[in-house]
Structure 1
C-alpha cells in the first residue's frame, strides 16, 4: 500500500512510499482510510518535540482517521465489512480514568497511524463514524472534537448560562466553541486575528479578544465577565501564559490544560492559583465511551466540523505546513 513514512525527525524526512498492507489479526479491523485530519500533536511528532523516545522509525504518522472496514480478523463482533469507523487516539482507553501506560498504545506514534491507504484498528477501539458526516468531516473528531467535549462535559460539567473561554481558533478551539454554545454556555474566544474572532462571533460566541492588540487579555476577560472571570478556560497555549489564564478564571473555576503551543514548561505563580482556588487539570483527549456519547450529541445538535482546507493524499507536506501557519478549524487530508 501507499503510505507516508517518517524516516527521521523533520518534515523533509516525511516521504511518500510503499509498505506492506497489514493483515487483521483476531479482534482487529482492516480499514480503508478515507481521510485523516491533522492535530498539533502530529506536527510535534514530526518535529521531534513530542515524546521523541516513543517514536519508531519509519513511522506512519497521524492519529485521526475515518474510513471503511474492508476485512475483519477472527472473532470480530462489534463491526462488519462495510461499516464506517473512526480511529480513537488512546486505543486501549475505553472507559473511566486512563491507565499509566495509555501513551504506549496511541495511533500515529508509537502505533502506526492513518496517513496510508489502510490501517489496523482493534474493534474495541473503533468508534462508529456519524452517518451524516463524510470521511473528511468524521476524521476531525478523534482528538479535536473529543478533547473539547471531555473538557466541557466530563471535566468542566458546563451548565447553561456559564462562561467559557476558548483560546485560539484551531481545531480543538472551534469545536469547543460550538459544543459550549450548544450546551447553553456563553463563549469568549481569544485570537491574534480579528477576522478569526469575527468568524467565531458569527458562529455565536459572545465576544472575542485579540491578545496581540490587548496583551493583558486576562484583564479584558474580567471586564467582559463583570470582574468575576470565566467558569472554565480551555488552555491551548501553555508556556508562561498559564498565569494569565489563572487570572481570567473565576474564583473556584477550572482550567483545562490541553496544549503547549507556546511552550511545554511554565513558571507558575502559585499564590493566585491558591487564593483563587483554581483547579488546573491536564486533558489528554478521552476514553472511547466519551467518544460514543459525543457523537450522539453532535448528531442531536447538528454540529458540523469547520474545515479550513482539504488536501490530496500526495499533498501531505503542504497540509503540515498549513497546520504550522495556524488554520481556522481543521486541516484534512483526503486519502481515498
Structure 2
C-alpha cells in the first residue's frame, strides 16, 4: 500500500540547517528489491562534507550511507532475504565484488542516490548484508563505511599478518575499527592522539603504544623508533596531505600506506622521495564491496568484536548528532536511532 515516511533531506541551506525533516512517499518496491525499516544510522566525516556542499546540489537528497534495520517487505523475485531478517546496506549498493568503477561510484548511498537517514529504505536484495544476531542495530549501523574501510585497508590492500605492526591515526570510527581488527589478527598497534583521555582508552582496548602527535610533531620517526628502527608494516592514513609525510617516515621499507582520509584536505605538498626510496605501496581505499562487507562480518564474528559507539542520538536530534561529530570529541562512532 502507498504510504509516507519521515526522512531527512539535505536542502540548500547554510550549515546543519540544511538537514531538513520531511514527509515523503515511501519508495516503491520492485521484484528484486527489499524494503527495510531503518532502526539506526551512523555518521562519517563524509556526511559533514555532504552538508557543506548542500547548496551546490541540484536537488535534495537523503543523507548518510550507513544504516541497519529489519526487512519488512520483499519483492516477488527475492531469494536472499526474508521478512524479519536483520540487515545493513552496503555503502556502494551495486559494487558486489571486484574493482570499483564509475558506475558503482555514482550510486553511493547519500551521495549518488538517497541514503539511509529515513524510516524506510528500498534497495536491491544484493545490496543488503545479513547481520549477526548479537549485534544491536546501533552497532551494526557503524559497519558499512568505517568497518568495511578498515577491513579493506588491513586485509585486502595490505594483507596484514600476525606479528605485523600497524599505525592508526586518531580515534575516529575507521581508526578504532583498525585497532580492533589488527589486534584480533595478532598485530601490534600504534595509535596517535593528542588527547590523553583518548590515548588511555586506546591502551585499554589493546593498543601496544600511543603517541601524542602534538607533543611529538615528528611522530612518524617516533613510531619507527618504537619498532627498533625497522618501521611499521601498515599505516591506516586518514589525515591526507597534512599527515602523509609522517606516515612515510613511520613505514618500513616495502611497507603499505592505506590512504583513505581527507581530514587535512584534498590537496597539499607531500614528499614523494620517501615513497620510491623506501619502495612503499600507497593504496587508495574508498570503503569496499559487498564481498568485503561480508568478510568484515566473518572477522567480527570470529573474534566476537563489538563496535565502539561513542554517543547515540534520537531521530529528531540529527542536527545535534552532526554537530557532535564535527566537534571531534567522539571516540568511535556517532549514531542516530531511527525507530
TM-score, normalised to structure 2's length?
0.96
Q: What stretches of structure 2 of length at least 5 have no aligned partner?
A: none
Residue number in structure 2 paired with 1:333: 336
Would the aligned equivalents of 1:164 and 1:186 in 2 still touch at CA under 8 Å? Answer: yes
Which residue in the other structure is 2:7 paired with? Answer: 3
Q: How is 1:247-286 mapped onto 2 (pairs within 5 angstroms)? A: 247-286=249-288
Hey, what's the Cα distance between the residues in 2 that align with 1:122 and 1:7?
Answer: 26
Deviation at 1:268, TM superposition (A): 2.1
Q: Return 305-314 or 21-30, whichever deviates more.
A: 21-30
SS at match of 1:105: coil
Which consecutive residues of structure 1, in runs of 5 or more, have no partner in the other structure? none
Which residue number in structure 2 is paired with residue 40 of structure 1?
A: 45
Distance between the aligned counterparts of 1:240 and 1:2, measured in 2? 40
State the distance in 2 between where 1:56 and 1:72 align. 31
The CA deviation string for residues 108-136 of structure 1, in whole angstroms up to 9 with x for no partner, is: 11211111111112101110022111111
Secondary structure of 1:262's counterpart equals coil
Residue in structure 2 matched with residue 297 of structure 1 by the alignment: 299
* 1:22-53 per-position Cα deviation (integer Å, ceiling 9, x unaligned): 1211211111000000011111111119xx87
Q: Does the aligned pair in 2 maintain the 1:161–1:184 contact within 8 Å?
A: yes
1:125-144 to 2 correspondence within 5 Å? Answer: 125-144=127-146
Give the Å deviation of 1:94.
Answer: 0.5
1:281 Cα deviation (Å)?
1.1
How do 1:145-184 residues align onto structure 2 when only pairs under 5 Å count? 145-184=147-186
User: How many corresponding residue pairs?
Assistant: 333
TM-score, reference length from structure 1: 0.96
1:170-207 CA-partner distances (Å, limit 9, x unpaired): 00110100000000000000011111011011111111
Q: After TM superposition, list the pairs within 5 Å mapping 1:16-35 onto structure 2.
A: 16-35=21-40
Over 3 Å counting, the alpha-carbon distance change for 1:56 and 1:91 in structure 2 is farther
Alignment check: 8 A CA contact 1:56 1:110 kept? no
Q: Which runs of 4+ in 1 moved over 4 A?
A: none
